[in-house]
Amino acid sequence: MIPYMVWILFSYGVAGALVHFFHSRYLKYETSSRKQVHYILVAHNHENQMEWYLRALMWYSCLRAQSLRVTILDDGSQDDTLAIIERMKYANEMNLTVVGEAEIQDEHDIIRSHSPNDGEQLKFIDLRVPHEAAKIPYVQA
């Protein structure tokens, strides 16, 4: 019985050492070398879907080890879309920017003003258009 206990304790010790080793390597992995993705979402009265869209993006970026930046262009939502966005912004500490209707002149100007940084991939999704939400990972339109 004693040899089995020794093997069990040894296995736990090795597993703990491996976890600490890989965690220290992960912490040394620079965030600047991570792939960065910038999503620009155009929303209008999407209170029923917005939380899911943001959570899907966050989950996908965590699984892919990507740095995520989200800009939401609000096209005059009359529902609680903005409240949901603000709640998600502070609850999950997302790099989330909201541009209101008054600040939108032209969507092409917005895309140019939010031009991608070095190595950043830009994805523009207009949620007002049916089936555009299918471009968001884990979302079926």
CATH of the domain at 107: 3.40.50
Assess contact for 136 and 59: CB atoms under 8 A: no
pLDDT of residue 29: 64
Give residue 19's pLDDT: 93
C-alpha span between 70 and 80 (Å, rounded): 18
Q: What percent of the chain has pLDDT over 90?
A: 13
pTM, rounded to two decimals: 0.67
Answer yes or no: do 131 and 65 share one domain: yes
Same domain, 12 and 52: no
Question: Do 69 and 120 share a domain, yes or no?
Answer: yes
The predicted structure's pLDDT at residue 15: 96
The answer to whether residues 89 and 23 belong to one domain is no
C-alpha distances out from residue 19 to 64, 66, 67, Å: 20, 21, 23
Confidence band (pLDDT; 50, 70, 90) for 64?
A: confident
